[in-house]
C-alpha cells in the first residue's frame, strides 16, 4: 500500500519520503544491528521469533520493488474509470490494484521467505535457547569440532532445509502465473 501511495498520489514531501526509503536501503543492516538488539531487549523480545519475522514484513526493498512494478504496469485509466464508477480509494485498491500487483507480491513473498529462512546472523544473536534455533543454526551445529566433521549429516540438513522453500515456491508460483494476464486495458 505504501508503494501504491507513493506512485499514485501527488503530495508534498513525496520525493523526500521516496529518498528516505532509498537511503534506508543503502545503509548496511549490520550497521544498525546494535541499536536493533537494544530495542528488542528493551521490548523484552529476546529469545523470541517476533523480532525475526516482523522486520522482514516491512522492508524498504519491498516498497522499491512494488513501486517500480506499479510504474511499469499500472495504467491511470483504470483508476480514473474506477473513480468515475464511484469506487472509493480502498475499494479501488482492493478490487483493481491488488489483482494487478499479485505477481509482484508473490515474487516479493518468495524473496522475503527465502531470505528469512536462510538468515543465520539475526537468529544467532537474538535466540539463546536451543529449542528455538532455526534450521540454519541447527545445520551449523552439525559441524562438530575441528577434527571431526560429519559431512553426510550436514548435507542431509541442507537438503531438509531446502524442502520448505520448494513447497513455498510451488504454492506462490501459481499467483505469479495467474496474475500476469489481469489488469489489461482495452483501447
pLDDT bin (cut points 50, 70, 90) of residue 73 is: confident
Taking Cα atoms as reference points, which of 125, 153, 152 lies closest to residue 141?
153
Which percentage of the chain shows pLDDT scores above 70? 94
- Assessment of whether the complete model's pTM goes beyond 0.85: no
The number of CA neighbours under 13 Å toward the Cβ of 24 is 14
Taking CB atoms within 8 Å and a gap of at least 24, the contacts of 139-142 are: none
As a whole number of angstroms, the distance between CA 91 and CA 107 comes to 24
pLDDT band at 176; cut points 50, 70, 90:
confident
- Where does the pLDDT of residue 58 fall: very low under 50, low under 70, confident under 90, or very high at 90 and above? confident
- Rounded mean pLDDT of the chain? 86
Could you report the per-residue pLDDT of 99-125, keeping only the tens digit for each? 888 888 999 999 999 988 888 899 999
Q: Which domains does the chain have, with CATH numbers?
A: 2-179 (1.10.3720.10)
CA geometry: angle 136, 53, 92, nearest 5 deg: 135
pLDDT computed for residue 184 by the predictor: 52
Amino acid at each position: 500500500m505504501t508503494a501504491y501511495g507513493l506512485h499514485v498520489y501527488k503530495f508534498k514531501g513525496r520525493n523526500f519520503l521516496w529518498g528516505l526509503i532509498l537511503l534506508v536501503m543503502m545503509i548496511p543492516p549490520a550497521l544498525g544491528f546494535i541499536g536493533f538488539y537494544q530495542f528488542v531487549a528493551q521490548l523484552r523480545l529476546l529469545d523470541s521469533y517476533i523480532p525475526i519475522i516482523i522486520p522482514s514484513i516491512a522492508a524498504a526493498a519491498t516498497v522499491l520493488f512494488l513501486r517500480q512494478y506499479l510504474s511499469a504496469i499500472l495504467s491511470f485509466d483504470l483508476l480514473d474509470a474506477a473513480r468515475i464508477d464511484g469506487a472509493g480509494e480502498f475499494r479501488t485498491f482492493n478490487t483493481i490494484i491488488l489483482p494487478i500487483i499479485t505477481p509482484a507480491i508473490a515474487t516479493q513473498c518468495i524473496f522475503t521467505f527465502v531470505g528469512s529462512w536462510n538468515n543465520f546472523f539475526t537468529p544467532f544473536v537474538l535466540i539463546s535457547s536451543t529449542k528455538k534455533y532455526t534450521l540454519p543454526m541447527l545445520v551449523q551445529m552439525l559441524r562438530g569440532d575441528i577434527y571431526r566433521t560429519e559431512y553426510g549429516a550436514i548435507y542431509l540438513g541442507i537438503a531438509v532445509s531446502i524442502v520448505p522453500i520448494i513447497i513455498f515456491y510451488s504454492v506462490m508460483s501459481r499467483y505469479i502465473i495467474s496474475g500476469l494476464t489481469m489488469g489489461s486495458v482495452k483501447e
